[in-house]
Amino acid sequence: MEQATLRVELLAHTPNPLSLVYAAFRQCYHAGFAGDMWPKLLAGDLDRETQAAFVTETLSSGHASPVEHVSFTFALEGVSRALTHQLVRHRIASYSQQSQRYVDGSDFRYVLPPAIARIPEARDRFLRCLADIGAAYREVKELLETNGGSNAREDARFLLPQAAETRIVLTMNCRSLLNFFEHRCCMRAQWEIRALAWEMLGLCRAALPAIFAVAGPSCERLGFCPEGKRFTCGKYPLAEAALK
């Protein structure tokens, strides 16, 4: 078995995302028709800096629904099943995940938590356990196949751990991404999904800075920590102190 490494690829996003969000925002406040505005935007009649400034200012006012018209699609690998159990809690999204029913897990790759990696004894015990699970998976799968199991992987997968690597394609619209980053870029988020969120945010910022330049944990937008005294990392003051 081999340790997996996080890899995040931006596969695609809605074409002309800035102009599309601009047109959607303008339709809310403009007497004209976005369909007439669109060819002019594509022709460059209005420079991108002006579009970006309007989008950023309007979004900062709290009007966010027009950004739902743009979506981003990512391919993720080197993530654990523990991570994807958290990821799919974000319901306004589309997911296509590698199936353990059909993909053989005999030599599964794994995600090693840094806290375990730092303690040699814990790391050794962790790896021995994974080796035992891998051996048990192979033995059970072979027994099922020998005894006429129609899909041995389907039942042998019950042995696989949450550390087992998975691969997944994920699509979210911009509003869902902003919410995702607010929660998962926070220091309170679990370390693996936090690392994923920051990788995704970097790709989004490069593609659409008018929306994502100020995205991130909610404390950066609010200027205070909304998590409360028990959970704050201390980077920002608590709400009760900041709002006095």
Tens digit of each residue's pLDDT (9 = 90 or more) over 168-200? 999 999 999 999 999 999 999 999 999 999 999
| Rounded-to-integer distance, Cα 76 and Cα 9, Å | 7
What are phi and psi for residue 189, nearest 5 degrees?
-65, 155
**Residue 179 sits in the same domain as residue 64:** yes
Which sign, positive or negative, has the C-alpha torsion 57, 24, 69, 44?
A: negative
Contact 50, 240 (CB under 8 A): no
Would residue 93 count as lying in a domain?
Answer: no
Would residue 36 count as lying in a domain?
Answer: yes
**Residue 150 sits in the same domain as residue 177:** no
Single residue among 117, 134, 163 that ends a domain in this structure: 163
pLDDT per residue over 84-107, tens digit each? 999 999 999 999 999 999 999 999
Single residue among 140, 163, 186 that ends a domain in this structure: 163
Residue 244 has pLDDT above 70, yes or no: no
Q: Is 146 helix (H, G, I), strand (E, B) or coil?
A: helix
Catalytic residue among 109, 153, 175, 184: 184
Would residue 156 count as lying in a domain?
Answer: yes
**Residue 148 sits in the same domain as residue 170:** no
**Residues sharing a CB contact under 8 Å with residue 124, sequence separation 6 or more, in sequence order:** none
pLDDT per residue over 12-32, tens digit each? 999 999 999 999 999 999 899
Respond yes or no: is residue 184 known to be catalytic: yes
**Residue 70 sits in the same domain as residue 191:** yes
Question: Based on the structure, what is the number of domains in the chain?
Answer: 2
Range of the domain at 19: 8-75+166-242
pTM of the model: 0.93
**Residue 106 sits in the same domain as residue 152:** yes
Would residue 96 count as lying in a domain?
Answer: no
**Residue 218 sits in the same domain as residue 173:** yes
Would residue 236 count as lying in a domain?
Answer: yes
pLDDT of residue 242: 61
Would residue 84 count as lying in a domain?
Answer: no
CATH code, domain with 37: 3.30.1360.170
Contact 67, 175 (CB under 8 A): yes
243 — pLDDT class (breaks 50, 70, 90): low
Would residue 213 count as lying in a domain?
Answer: yes
Would residue 230 count as lying in a domain?
Answer: yes
